[in-house]
Structure 1
Amino acid sequence: MYEPNVVGDWQEYDEHAGLRVRVHRLEAAEPPRGRDDAAVGLTYFSVRVTIENRSASHFSVQLEDGQIDVRVGPDGEGAFIDWRSSQFIEGFDVYPLRRATAVVYAAGTEAALSQVDVQVHLRVDEEWTERRLWAGGIGLAEGPVAAVAAGACQGSVAHQVIAFLKDQKDQAEPGGA
């Protein structure tokens, strides 16, 4: 069974040796250009997508609007993506041992942000890569996380992601296991 990456994990691309990508720094954040009127009543968050070149040659990468899909909540509803505040990668040459990062500002209901899925469809040297998925969440409200964890099946991907994130949080806190 295909399992998503956890937010923060690097994913190697088999079709482009040395190229890897990750979704990271999923956090509550206000957009730099102010809130969009369409996001009234929603909670803003940001997520970063970093592309790293570990090969000996350069890659021309493109990661623009429409190539990043953000879904929130247990039903996978589409998040509002603030295109004017987001920063994309438009035809950038990533040379060896270099990185390029896109920053996406999105919004969703606060209760749904405990479960966030980000799908990336990168274009490299005019070729499309396979879609990759990362799963994570923002701990704005502890109640929904506990409710999802209690309702999730033991073997489900959601349960595995929640358990992993809880372990990471416990290890990061002073006195954690």
Structure 2
Amino acid sequence: MYEPNVVGDWHEYDEHAGLRVRVHRLEESEPPRGRDDAAAGLTYFSARVTIENRGSGHFGVQLEDGQIDVRVGPDGEGAFIDWRNSQFIEGFDVYPLRRATAVLYAAAPEAALTQVDIQIHLRVDEEWTERRLWAGGIGILETTNATACQTAAPGSLSHQVTAFLKDQTEPGPTTP
């Protein structure tokens, strides 16, 4: 079994040298042509799927409705996908050093948006690739190593290193 990608990570396809894809910009966003009546009471969000060609030849790619599945919340319930507002890639040739991007609009209960899984089943040159999953969420606070060091106990090694680096970056006394 493969590991899911994190939203923002690139996934390279072994069977298509140079071709890679990523799901990114997962954010709350209203659709450009207005809300669908079926999404009443739900929170809209969007995600981008970018396909990039770093190889030497071109690839014919297709990413349309039915090739994207969105699940939300801890139980993996299906999100409402707004096909009318979404923009897909329908039989496009991606040449070397070029990209093509699809924009997906979906809606789900706001409480479920902290866990969003987006599965892509890309079609390249009339062949289906394996399904790949990107996991992420909206409104999740990211912790960084700097944040972890700042909250460390005063006697810990990480606190000592942080204090040392802070002392090194502060300007010292000036001499006349």
How many angstroms does 1:32 deviate by? 0.2
RMSD: 2.0
How many angstroms does 1:171 deviate by? 6.3
Number of residues of Structure 1 aligned to a counterpart in Structure 2: 150
The higher radius of gyration belongs to: 2
Q: What CA distance in whole angstroms lies between the structure 2 residues aligned with 1:70 and 1:171?
A: 33
Q: Work out whether 1:78 is the aligned partner of 2:78.
A: yes
TM-score (norm 2): 0.81
Structure 1 segments (4+ residues) deviating >6 Å: none
Aligned position for 1:10: 10
Aligned position for 2:137: 137
Name structure 2 gaps, 5 residues minimum. 152-161, 163-176
Provide the secondary structure at the position in 2 that maps to 1:111: helix
The one-letter amino acid paired with 1:59 is F
Structure 1 residues 2-11 or 84-93, which shifts more?
2-11
The one-letter amino acid paired with 1:167 is T
Aligned position for 1:38: 38
Provide the secondary structure at the position in 2 that maps to 1:133: strand
Q: Work out whether 1:166 is the aligned partner of 2:142.
A: yes
Distance 1:122 1:138, change over 3 A: same
Aligned position for 2:173: none
Provide the secondary structure at the position in 1 that maps to 2:111: helix
